[in-house]
Amino acid sequence: MRSSCRVLTLLILATSFLFSITLKTTFQLAPPKYMEENGKPAGIGYEVFRSLQNVLKGQGVNLVWDGNFRNMREIQKMLSSCSMDFFIGMARTKQRMSEYRFSSYPVYSLGYTMLTRKGEKRPTKVAVVSGTKTEKLLGKVVLEKSVRVLQVKNVEEALEYLRSGKVDSVFYNSMSLGYFYTRNRNAYSIGQGSGKYYQFIVFSKCVPRGIIQMVDKALMKVLKAGLVERAIARYGIWDYVKPGNYLTFASIDQPPYEFTSNGKWFGIDAEVVQKIFKDMGFEVFIDKMSWMRTLKSLELGVLDGTFSISATEERRKYLYFSPAPLSVGIDGFLYRKDRLKPSNLYVPMGFTCGYVPGHVYSEVLNSETLLHLIPMPNDEIGVRAVVAGRLDLYAVNKFVGMYYLRELNALNEVGFFPAFGKRYYYLALSKVDSWHKEILEDFSKRFEKFKLTKEYRQILDKYHINYEDIWKM
């Protein structure tokens, strides 16, 4: 019996050592993604290729380059016919996702932009690379029918048309145009990149899913090691491209959910978001900006996401929301106890009421004609105004109000009336790519497990909130 087990073990080991598969790729002539330097391949895509080679070679997966630089239409044909196994750096579209398979993680993110000769006010002749995502996006940017669009094979040809005067503008991704612009600032102008999207590793359908999973793990290892980050910095295009595991959020000071102190973010939601995304292998960056600007930036696709946000039908047009809520709150009014009683607030009439525009409860307030509404820049100023007697009421989340009242030693002077009821807050990511929806699903599964841990309750305790206060009220 023991000898049989030993033979089986040896057979398994021998099979694992004998296992080997070769995956073939090609490169694209699109500096600095791929290019030639001194007769040798170079570029960000090439550096990722070399990094993946090093990670996978010990696992029996050999990555090889066919020695050619091709345009995107050729690359897609080769993937469809299985004459090529994979390619590093392709955006996902619905059609492509039905024809190919993609890595679970993007290699990097970028945007689309317009490069023009200096002095040109409006483009009249625009070059666009055929077969690319930017070709499909052009109609959203150039709406004038008088603009002539010239299709070219690759970005090198587009830039040559620009240099020679055949066109006055090139519309393409921010990686290639940003790279060209940084080397020709005196002669050209570049638009502000917008419409963030991602480029992934794409595989032909002939590549087994198990092999794709191995490449996925290798890619995340490369991203976590900062190899993509360093490659982007080396080519001087950090303003135009970011690694695939970078996520940019924005929010406001809304303690105890999120707030800044000495340049760092704290709060029950901010700390959970940062902790879980770190466990998932992401680098999270949070900008502080007004709530209205945050929503507008998300709508334009400039930001990846936000948190502690209520889900509404309007917001669902441009945001994906996490399947599970991130936290809970109760919206209502703060009022001075020496001026008003709860009985005054069932049908509030004629009172001055402060609120922050953009919050969901502001929609309810704006439909209410019995209050004199006064917009506030943020919750802290609004709470202070109630404490000082400059406002009769202030519309706010209960836990936010209690936080500031505790800071002001005014818990005994000011009461809370639950006028709008319980509200769930979510993590939200923009709809620039369906990959964001996949991230949210993974995040929610991890969060549901994290909620059961001692570490989560310790985060709540720091902000004087019991687990039952938000999940069992």
Which CATH number does the domain housing residue 226 bear? 3.40.190.10
SS3 content of the chain, % helix, strand, coil (to 5): 40, 30, 30
Same domain? For 188 and 210 the reply is no
Nearest to 50 by CA among 188, 196, 195, 230: 230
Residues in the chain: 473
What amino acid occupies position 335?
A: Y
**8 A C-beta contact, residue 199 and residue 93:** no
Same domain? For 30 and 79 the reply is yes
Q: Tokens for 125?
A: 């002749």
Same domain? For 263 and 215 the reply is no
416-to-357, 425, 470 alpha-carbon distances in Å: 20, 20, 16
* Phi, then psi, of 287 in degrees rounded to 5: -95, 150
Same domain? For 170 and 218 the reply is no
Amino acid 19: pLDDT:
64
Q: Cα separation of 267 and 286, whole Å?
A: 13
Amino acid 362: pLDDT:
57
**8 A C-beta contact, residue 222 and residue 228:** yes
The pTM (predicted TM-score) of the whole model is 0.83
Nearest to 204 by CA among 349, 34, 83, 324: 83
Q: Tokens for 352?
A: 């001055």
Residue spans of alpha helices (H) in 301-421 = 360-366, 379-387, 398-407
Chunked into runs of 10 residues, the chain (473 residues) has average pLDDT values of 42 50 94 94 97 94 96 95 97 94 96 89 88 81 78 92 94 94 93 83 96 96 96 95 96 94 95 97 94 91 92 95 95 94 84 87 65 92 97 94 96 93 93 93 97 96 89 77
Q: Cα separation of 215 and 276, whole Å?
A: 23
**8 A C-beta contact, residue 428 and residue 305:** yes
**8 A C-beta contact, residue 195 and residue 432:** yes
Same domain? For 357 and 464 the reply is yes
- 256 occurs within a structural domain: yes
| Domain region containing 99 | 19-107+200-242
Amino acid 187: pLDDT:
92
Same domain? For 143 and 233 the reply is no
Same domain? For 178 and 40 the reply is no
Angle between helices 379-387 and 398-407 (to 10 degrees): 60
163-to-105, 125, 160, 193 alpha-carbon distances in Å: 36, 13, 5, 21
Amino acid 22: pLDDT:
96
What's the structural domain count of the chain?
A: 3
- 211 occurs within a structural domain: yes
Same domain? For 209 and 342 the reply is no
Backbone region of residue 119 per phi and psi (left: phi > 0; alpha: psi in -120 to 50; beta: other values): left
Same domain? For 219 and 266 the reply is no
Same domain? For 383 and 446 the reply is yes
The residues that bridge with 353 in the sheet, in sequence order, are 373, 393
Q: Cα separation of 69 and 153, whole Å?
A: 12
Last residue of a domain, one of 180, 208, 242: 242
Residue spans of alpha helices (H) in 266-342 = 268-280, 291-300
Amino acid 225: pLDDT:
95
Q: Cα separation of 158 and 219, whole Å?
A: 31
Same domain? For 84 and 225 the reply is yes
In the block, tokens 């004629």 appear at 350
Same domain? For 133 and 233 the reply is no
